[in-house]
Structure 1
Amino acid sequence: MDQIQMENFLDRLPELRVLVIGDLMLDEYVWGRTERISPEAPVQVVDVVREDIRLGGAGNVINNLVTLGCEVHVASVLGDGQDGLWLRQCLEEKGVGTAGLLFDALRTTSRKTRILAAHQQMLRIDRESREPISAAQEEQLADFVRRHAGEFQAILVSDYLKGVLTEGLLQAVIAIGKERGLPVVIDPKGRDYRKYRGATLLTPNRKETETASGVSIVDEESLHRAARTLMEQVELETLMVTRSEEGISIFSRDGGDVHLPTEAREVFDVTGAGDTVLSLIGAGLGAGLAIEDAARLANLAAGIVVGKVGTSTVTVEELRQAIALRGQEVDAKIKGREELKHLLEVERRRGKTIVFTNGCFDLLHVGHVKYLQQARRLGDMLVLGLNSDASIRRLKGPNRPLISEHERAHILAALSCIDYLVVFDEDTPLELLGLLRPDILAKGADYTPDTVVGRDLVESYGGRVELVPLVDGRSTTNIIERILDRYEKG
């Protein structure tokens, strides 16, 4: 997903209508000073300085979507006391549609009160109901979703195990989503994920993935095993695991796993980052983005949020600035061969699978892009060896390349599927392969394994060759011939 596509997505956010279903709560913060011990008991006395109440739980997902400019609607069950009424009023003041809210005299609206003094949290007081909602309320919420599903582009589910998201309601919502072609994206909780079976996407963090799968995650292999275990249990096509400072991993039933490194430069507070990820993933899928592209945006947003203190949201302007900054970082992808060798040695020690491919890539076209995207999916990182101008002239004649190596390198480095790029001057990449020692050598399917330069070398140290399908009829030569033909006829 390039910078222009990202910008187009941000422009479309005000057109998105999103339904959020889940456990709403109030987060109350009481700040004070403590300078004495109570004469009544051996406890500190907190002199209150200020208080603040915010939307919490699923409300933080709503805050994120509202901040992005989306039209948001909510469905949940609240107590009918003062807290429930205040929460509804707060939502309405933000422009959130509240027709899907139900009120129950027997429930307590979740309210978490945190007492803070001397720069630390001293106590938390929880007032809430955890009992499952009634069968009648379950049916009312499902009926609301059924009647209004055609008005939304995505359904986001935020589960805090407070009783609203029963198995019956979840299965009804997932079925409605499938029937209407709506993505149903769920931030799950608990040990038993079977109630989420059939969802479009689950977004657990690493600890939640461990708990639900029963697999202790200590390395890339155990992460993969935990993810596959969950996917089988929950009948998922795709699972996305958020890994804090290690980024995001996407697992697909077809085996095309993708690992996105963190976009954060400094981490101050990870509170609420999962809600930001859920919001951007849901908005992205609602806008028709592929899961990988939506995840890249969510990863970018999470990198912004963890650089703030407290549960935070990300603005469209912050995303625009981050996207622009990534564009400036294109130069950083272009490396000399010795520097690249060192970088890849570090990544290899971290367990990353390194894919290498090479070519001229003169007059970049859709066939090139699709080929590179597929090559990237073969591992964790894609390194591109780019023929220099001199080597292309020796291979293709004095009239090529049409685009200089400097321009070609910068255009290609702007593609998100390319992690590093190195220009080489030899006729073949054999010397470069010996230096970088990639795990996988990718070439187009117009080759056979026997004709791939470097195959013997890569296989000699345990690597392998992969042939990637090409887009028929797409080549630089064909483009040049069409241009010449049209201008000659004109």
Structure 2
Amino acid sequence: MTHLPGTRILVVGDLMLDEYVWGRTDRISPEAPVQVVEVQREDLRLGGAGNVINNLVVLGCRVSVASVVGDDADGQVLRQMLSEKNIDDAGIVAVPGRTTSRKTRILASNQQMLRIDRESRTPVNDDQGRVLVDFVRDRIDQFQVILLSDYLKGVLSEEVLRGIIEIGREKGVPVLVDPKGNDYQKYRGATLLTPNRKEAQVASGIEIRSETDLVEAGRTLRQSLDLDALVLTRSEEGMSLFIRDGDEIHLPTEAKEVFDVTGAGDTVLSVLGAGLACGFSLEEAARLSNVAAGIVVGKVGTSTVSAEEIFETVGRSHRDSDLKIKTRDVLSVALEREREKGRRIVFTNGCFDLLHAGHVQYLQKARRLGDLLVLGLNSDQSVQRLKGPKRPLIGENERAHILAALDCIDYVCLFDEDTPLELIRAVKPDILVKGGDYSPEGVVGKEIVESYGGRVEIIEFVAGKSTTGLVEKILQQYREG
């Protein structure tokens, strides 16, 4: 997820300019009983849907935008700022007479004293909405994810929302929405919504006073709106993920200290979208967005978070086993970043049915050969072909989670083939490890690893420790009993 090669994301929503005026105040105006702010510096940033764009750019995504702005000076400034970030703005419609949104914040002594809003909230008319929907329809094949950032400034009318959501469903492109307002029926059929606790309470009509209430509100919204998933952000309590035909997943906050929650919702939407575009599952993307939100609330002002910050934070904490288990494609993306940091990748593989002390010691020794250990795990079908129809004793999902819980293992990846050859091609390890009485010449993947300068290491298994031995001991003891 470091560079997100080839990832294309479309952002549709309310663009605005966020203006910050910093100064000092130490006197009262003689004209009126108000404080006088002596301006010291000013800053102009992309706001609204523009903050979603900022987050995606920092993550390394290629971004396009569709919106409606005024045919005014601020509209031109906004497009110039997008151009400087290499954002494709072909989907922006400039409307004469409309005011481009600008929010001016006056700050003194690190506190906001006043906000001045210049904007139009008039919903786009039928012709303008049709232009937006046609733009999405014509270019939908270029994007892996569509993010809808709704600030209720009129761009995402019910007609525009309905049109884009239908196109996404038809083409199989996820449509993620950061919602606003009281009536969520306009978002019906989207892939995922990201309301906060207060928004979920209003939209569901369920007062959230307990964990039970929160679960009921989340389930109600997901089901009534026909969503694939709903991410309910819970401020200092983290977030909850509700998935169609799945259990709720509650993720505790990753924030160490909260300074400013401004823009945290934009960060959640951005990282969710980038994660799905990269091939992560909904749960994996949600976990990463939860980490990102925890980082961004520790910064002052509307901020962004980089892929490096996300992965550094994940790397410093104990990871849940779910987060270590990767598909082959997702694993390749994760390992790309590890290589860029100069880390030596160790790979080994096996069935690991009935994990025992011999396995653990072997894996610990393998991990010490490099900076991280990738374990290729034979799937159930693969084990049956190798060991016979009575094996494995423990299913692939349980085996994967047990192994992923070991601190010495960084990633687990299941493979269906009889040998790990194709997985080795994808992982491209620096060190290929095999156990037992193998000779280096007999190790599958030796030629591949050595072709780019890697090496093969053989580690002896602990004598007297084997799954077969465990099975025989269990059978013997139960027969005697």
Q: TM-score, normalized by length of structure 1?
A: 0.68
Aligned counterpart, 2:268: 277
Query: Would the aligned equivalents of 1:78 and 1:104 in 2 still touch at CA under 8 Å?
Result: yes
After superposition, where does 1:430-469 map in structure 2 within 5 Å?
none
Aligned counterpart, 1:339: none
1:82 is aligned to 2:79: no
Please, which runs of 5 or more residues in structure 1 have no aligned partner?
1-9, 331-358, 376-383, 385-402, 417-474, 481-490
Aligned counterpart, 2:16: 25
Aligned counterpart, 1:173: 164
**Offset at residue 372 of structure 1 (A):** 4.0
1:204 is aligned to 2:195: yes
Match of 2:118 among 121, 127, 130: 127
Query: Would the aligned equivalents of 2:2 and 2:308 in 1 still touch at CA under 8 Å?
Result: no
1:163 is aligned to 2:154: yes
Query: Would the aligned equivalents of 2:258 and 2:298 in 1 still touch at CA under 8 Å?
Result: yes
| Secondary structure, counterpart of 1:122 in structure 2 | strand
Deviates more, 1:65-74 or 1:293-302: 293-302
**Offset at residue 11 of structure 1 (A):** 4.3
CA distance in 1, matches of 2:395, 2:234: 28
CA distance in 1, matches of 2:235, 2:97: 38
Query: Would the aligned equivalents of 2:194 and 2:231 in 1 still touch at CA under 8 Å?
Result: yes
Query: Would the aligned equivalents of 1:154 and 1:285 in 2 still touch at CA under 8 Å?
Result: yes
1:96 is aligned to 2:93: no
**Offset at residue 197 of structure 1 (A):** 0.3
Aligned counterpart, 1:58: 49
Query: Would the aligned equivalents of 2:400 and 2:412 in 1 still touch at CA under 8 Å?
Result: no
Q: CA RMSD in A?
A: 2.8
**Offset at residue 167 of structure 1 (A):** 0.7
**Offset at residue 228 of structure 1 (A):** 1.9
Residues 383-418 of structure 1 show CA distances to partners (whole Å, capped at 9, x for unaligned) of x7xxxxxxxxxxxxxxxxxx9xxx9843579789xx
**Percent identity of paired positions between Structure 1 and Structure 2:** 59
Aligned counterpart, 2:58: 67
After superposition, where does 1:292-311 map in structure 2 within 5 Å?
292-311=283-302
Match of 2:108 among 104, 117, 124: 117
Question: Measured at CA, do residues 78 and 477 of structure 1 come closer, stay the same or move farther in structure 2, by a change above 3 Å?
Answer: farther
Please, which runs of 5 or more residues in structure 2 have no aligned partner?
322-352, 360-376, 381-393, 414-465, 472-481
**Offset at residue 120 of structure 1 (A):** 1.4
CA distance in 1, matches of 2:178, 2:248: 20
Q: TM-score, normalized by length of structure 2?
A: 0.69
| Secondary structure, counterpart of 1:278 in structure 2 | helix
Aligned counterpart, 2:448: none
**Offset at residue 36 of structure 1 (A):** 2.0
| Secondary structure, counterpart of 2:265 in structure 1 | helix
After superposition, where does 1:35-434 map in structure 2 within 5 Å?
35-326=26-317, 360-362=354-356, 366=379, 371-372=397-398, 409-411=406-408
AA paired with 2:314?
I
CA distance in 2, matches of 1:163, 1:316: 32
AA paired with 2:397?
Y
Question: Measured at CA, do residues 229 and 67 of structure 1 come closer, stay the same or move farther in structure 2, by a change above 3 Å?
Answer: same
Question: Measured at CA, do residues 275 and 48 of structure 1 come closer, stay the same or move farther in structure 2, by a change above 3 Å?
Answer: same
CA distance in 2, matches of 1:328, 1:218: 30
Query: Would the aligned equivalents of 2:196 and 2:233 in 1 still touch at CA under 8 Å?
Result: yes
CA distance in 2, matches of 1:476, 1:178: 48
Residues 107-131 of structure 1 show CA distances to partners (whole Å, capped at 9, x for unaligned) of 1111111111132111111110001
Query: Would the aligned equivalents of 2:354 and 2:467 in 1 still touch at CA under 8 Å?
Result: no
Question: Measured at CA, do residues 369 and 299 of structure 1 come closer, stay the same or move farther in structure 2, by a change above 3 Å?
Answer: farther
Deviates more, 1:78-87 or 1:282-291: 282-291
| Secondary structure, counterpart of 1:156 in structure 2 | strand
**Offset at residue 252 of structure 1 (A):** 2.2
**Offset at residue 323 of structure 1 (A):** 2.9
Query: Would the aligned equivalents of 2:71 and 2:98 in 1 still touch at CA under 8 Å?
Result: yes
CA distance in 1, matches of 2:117, 2:140: 34
Query: Would the aligned equivalents of 2:105 and 2:114 in 1 still touch at CA under 8 Å?
Result: yes
Q: Which runs of 4+ in 1 moved over 6 A?
A: 412-416
AA paired with 1:159?
D
**Offset at residue 237 of structure 1 (A):** 2.8
